[in-house]
Amino acid sequence: MSIQSLGVGSGLDLESLVAQLLQAERGAKTQRLDTREETLEEEISAIGQVKSKLGEFEDIIKDLQQEGNLSGREPTIENPSEDNDVLSATPSNAALPGVYQIAVTQLAQGSRIETQDADSGGFDSKDDVVLSSGSSNLTFKIGEDGDEFTINVAAGTTLEELRELINDDENNIGVTANIINTGTEEGGARLVFNSETTGKGNDLRIINSDDNAEFARLTTENSDGSASSLTISEQNQAKNAIASVDGIEVQSDTNKFENTIQSVRFDINELSEKDANGDPIASTLTIGFDKEALEEKIREFVDKFNELSDQLEKLTSYGESELQDDGALAGDFTVRGLQSGMASLLSANVADSAIGSMFALGIELTAEGKLEIGTTDFGLGTGSSRLDNALSDNFDDIDNLFNSESGIATKLLEFTEQYTQSSGILSSREDSIKDQQEVVNTDRERFEIRMISYEQTLRDRYLSLDTTVARLQQTGNALFAALG
């Protein structure tokens, strides 16, 4: 007879028997593979967490290395009254601490030119035509050697249209034209030109490029440099800003004073108030060390290192009891090497710094591998007091402690980049774990192939048994029937 399924011929539950045998064979091996695969996944996830946290720590190190972040200066300005906003200041990190008395007596200004009133040959209204026929050029130029631009004026152009031509020209150099309607027949409409270019000698020149007679009332000079109809009053000439610093008069062609005080730029916003005698009252500019910003950077460095230390400790620690799991990298030599290397660098002396060490700055490395600005006095003052002293007495040397050739930040970054670079230690470790994962996958595939072969062997074996038992049962049934 033909057996289609195990046990059909004999009536025995051979399918269940084969399934149990397969499960017994599969169980232990599958569990070992699953455990190994889970362990490798946890390890590669943990290595990724280390890389991420170490990258964050490197970011704060690089921030410390940015020029000026550890040597900032802080300007303080005291004006005669709260209503004053005389000046602002921006010191560079090379600026020396000092106190300066600054009074502002003149703001920088650009020049201003006005056309004459209607009775003196100017314009009656904005609709007056400035050129009756042909076309002609007007050139606007700053001083003798400054920038310039030229517009072409067509016949029939009105005063209002001329204003728009000037203001809308793509090559305009900062000249603005406006029309003031005086409201009287005598005054008429006056075209006013304002130049934003400040500084003595930077007066606006309006040149009658084609020496057109109709343009005489719009220009200050002819093409050959001879005078035309318009002039600039002394009041409306371009002017320098004038201030006094500790009683010494200083000038600038803009309202910005660069390096008048070495390594300090100050910008003036308004004139100084005057006393009862008409003398300007000085504002006080103090350039000091930006201790608050520097201390904030130092504390941020401590916090970021401790965050990294906590993460590494969590990943590498062993469970304290059977109920507590080990970290994914418990006892891992790579991470332990990272921890001990950083601890060594943080404890080292820095030859390029007068402060000499993190401890002298007030930062202590604890037995738990954390940094702290301590409160315990070891005979050298608490960590907080040592930090305060360094900020007061060795402000600029703190930058050397971190960023000199042998500085803490310099050496730390060189060390950690061995781990975080694309071809670094942690990436190599990830590659190694991925190779092990590939081995597990290969072992699993081979095991599945072997299980298919094993199942076929079992089925062949129990199919033969099923057939034999079925035949014996048929023979027995026949004998019982014959003996009936």
CATH code of 137's domain: 2.60.40
| Percent with pLDDT over 70 in the chain | 95
d(CA 250, CA 438): 75
pLDDT value at position 2? 39
Q: What is the mean pLDDT of residues 126-133?
A: 96
In a domain, 440, yes or no: yes
Q: Is the pLDDT of residue 431 over 50?
A: yes
Query: pLDDT (tens digit, 9 = 90+) per residue, 297-326?
Result: 999 999 999 999 999 998 988 866 665 677
Query: pLDDT (tens digit, 9 = 90+) per residue, 99-123?
Result: 999 999 999 999 999 999 999 999 9
Regarding predicted confidence, which is higher, 177 or 323? 177
Please, which residues have CB within 8 angstroms of residue 387's CB and are 6 or more apart in sequence? Answer: 295, 298, 361, 362, 363, 373
pLDDT value at position 240? 98
Q: How many domains, the chain?
A: 3
Query: pLDDT (tens digit, 9 = 90+) per residue, 40-88?
Result: 898 899 999 999 999 999 999 999 998 888 989 999 999 998 888 999 9
Indicate whether 349 and 376 sit together in one domain: yes
Indicate whether 335 and 439 sit together in one domain: yes
Indicate whether 215 and 341 sit together in one domain: no
pLDDT value at position 309? 94
154 pLDDT band (50/70/90 cuts)? Answer: very high
The residue among 297, 88, 113, 122 whose CA lies nearest residue 214 is 122
The reply to whether the predicted model has a pTM over 0.75 is no
**Averaged confidence pLDDT in the chain:** 91
In a domain, 484, yes or no: no
> 195, 217, 236: which is the final residue of a domain?
236
Residue with tokens 């007066």: 203
Q: Is the pLDDT of residue 4 over 60?
A: no
Indicate whether 329 and 444 sit together in one domain: yes
Indicate whether 79 and 123 sit together in one domain: no
Indicate whether 304 and 429 sit together in one domain: yes
Helix extents (H) in 95-202 = 159-168
Q: Is the pLDDT of residue 288 over 70?
A: yes
Q: Is the pLDDT of residue 463 over 90?
A: no
Indicate whether 217 and 260 sit together in one domain: no
In a domain, 150, yes or no: yes
Residue 303, beta-bridge partner list: none
Residue 266, beta-bridge partner list: 89, 257
Q: What is the mean pLDDT of residues 267-288?
A: 96
3 pLDDT band (50/70/90 cuts)? Answer: very low
Indicate whether 179 and 320 sit together in one domain: no
Regarding predicted confidence, which is higher, 82 or 362? 362
Indicate whether 401 and 455 sit together in one domain: yes
Indicate whether 466 and 323 sit together in one domain: yes
Indicate whether 225 and 349 sit together in one domain: no
pLDDT value at position 5? 67
Indicate whether 138 and 126 sit together in one domain: yes
DSSP of 60-118, one letter per residue? HHHHHHSTTTTS-EEEEEE-SSTT---EEEEE-TTPPPEEEEEEEEE--BEEEEEPPPG
- What range does the domain containing 180 cover? 110-236
Buried b (16+ CB within 10 A) or exposed e, 19-49: eeeeeebeeeeeeeeeebbeebebbbebbeb
